[in-house]
């Protein structure tokens, strides 16, 4: 039984699979070469992240495939419904990267309210000649404590974001199409536990009441936040997107940044990945990262283990 981890897999995941009798191949195969490679090697399981695409044509061309594993949450790079109609198992790792993404949200937030995204660009250029001017420019920051964070999408990642927000003294409001109320569990030293109930509300209400807004939703057919939504927000709101490109209208975002409606934005995902728009990359009011939400050592370890355990479980059930 062969597993191709085309976008990589953690050593712990490899060891679990090998101990269960699988041969794990970690060679990176180019997208256009995948059908030939999968057929020649008789690959039964392919594991991918976001780089490799598993579309209808590939599924049809590779009859040996039995399992498609996505290391991460979103599966928009896989034709999931079609694969399942063809009796393939399609799995992902919805819990493994939640903490990593949530922490990146706050990396952008903390950097945003203290202008670090801009300071880090300008200090190397003029820090030795314009130190006092730069100090004056960046001395008007604000605290997150006491501010209201609106979380659009109260799934696993949104809930992890809420935990951190509550932990640093922020007020939290959420919006979700499926979740009406959720309990956020805060765990402290000596096994102390506090539960905080959060009721969700429509996006239209959330955007009016939030000092900062962060999105944690799957890919959308159209942006959730566009010009109309920006116009309804508080002046000086901060926007963070670590979910999927396209859930924010980037043209409207740039306009809202230019007129001061939005004070700063933090983007880990973009409409045109892997070639983000130049006006986004060059805007000094945007904190930028290259889709690294789940890219921590800890998350990748958990992802590899979770994928391996699911693959092993599927085979055990089918051979029982």
Q: What is the 3-state secondary structure (H, E, C) of 2-30?
A: EEEECCCCCHHHHHHHHHCCCEEECCCCC
Do residues 3 and 17 make contact, with C-beta atoms less than 8 angstroms apart? yes
CA distances from 196 to 16, 103, 170, 185, 214 (A): 37, 20, 13, 6, 19
Active site residues: 244, 273, 291
Query: Which tokens belong to 102?
Result: 């949530």
Residue 175 CB coordination number (10 Å)? 24
| b/e map 18-52, b = 16+ CB within 10 Å | eeeebebbeeebeeeebbebbeeeebbbbbbbbeb
Query: Which tokens belong to 246?
Result: 């396209």
166, with CB counted inside 10 A (0-12, 13-18, 19+), is: middle
Q: What is the DSSP letter of 248?
A: B
């Amino acid at each position: 039984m062969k597993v191709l981890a085309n976008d990589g897999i953690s050593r712990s995941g490899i060891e679990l699979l090998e101990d269960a009798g699988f041969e794990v191949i970690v060679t990176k195969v180019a997208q256009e070469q995948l059908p030939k490679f999968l057929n020649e090697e008789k690959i039964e399981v392919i594991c991918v992240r976001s780089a490799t695409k598993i579309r209808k044509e590939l599924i049809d061309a590779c009859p040996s495939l039995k399992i498609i594993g996505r290391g991460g949450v979103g599966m928009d790079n896989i034709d999931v419904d079609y694969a399942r109609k063809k009796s393939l198992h399609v799995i992902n790792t919805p819990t493994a990267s939640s903490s990593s993404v949530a922490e990146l949200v706050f990396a952008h937030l903390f950097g945003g309210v203290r202008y670090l995204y801009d300071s880090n660009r300008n200090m190397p250029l003029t820090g030795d000649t314009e130190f006092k001017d730069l100090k004056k420019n960046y001395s008007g920051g604000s605290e997150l404590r006491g501010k209201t964070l609106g979380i659009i999408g109260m799934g696993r990642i949104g809930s992890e974001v809420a935990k951190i927000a509550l932990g640093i003294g922020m007020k939290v409001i959420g919006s979700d199409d499926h979740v009406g109320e959720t309990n956020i569990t805060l765990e402290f030293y000596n096994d102390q536990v506090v539960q905080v109930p959060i009721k969700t509300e429509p996006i239209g209400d959330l955007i009016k009441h939030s000092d900062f807004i962060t999105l944690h939703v799957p890919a959308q057919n159209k942006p959730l936040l566009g010009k109309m939504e920006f116009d309804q927000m508080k002046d000086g709101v901060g926007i963070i997107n670590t979910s999927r490109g396209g859930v924010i209208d980037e043209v409207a975002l740039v306009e809202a940044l230019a007129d001061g409606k939005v004070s700063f934005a933090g983007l880990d995902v973009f409409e045109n990945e892997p070639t983000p728009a130049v006006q986004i990359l060059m805007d000094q009011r945007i904190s930028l990262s290259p889709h690294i939400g789940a890219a921590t050592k800890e998350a990748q370890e958990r992802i590899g283990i979770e994928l391996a355990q699911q693959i092993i479980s599927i085979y055990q059930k089918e051979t029982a």
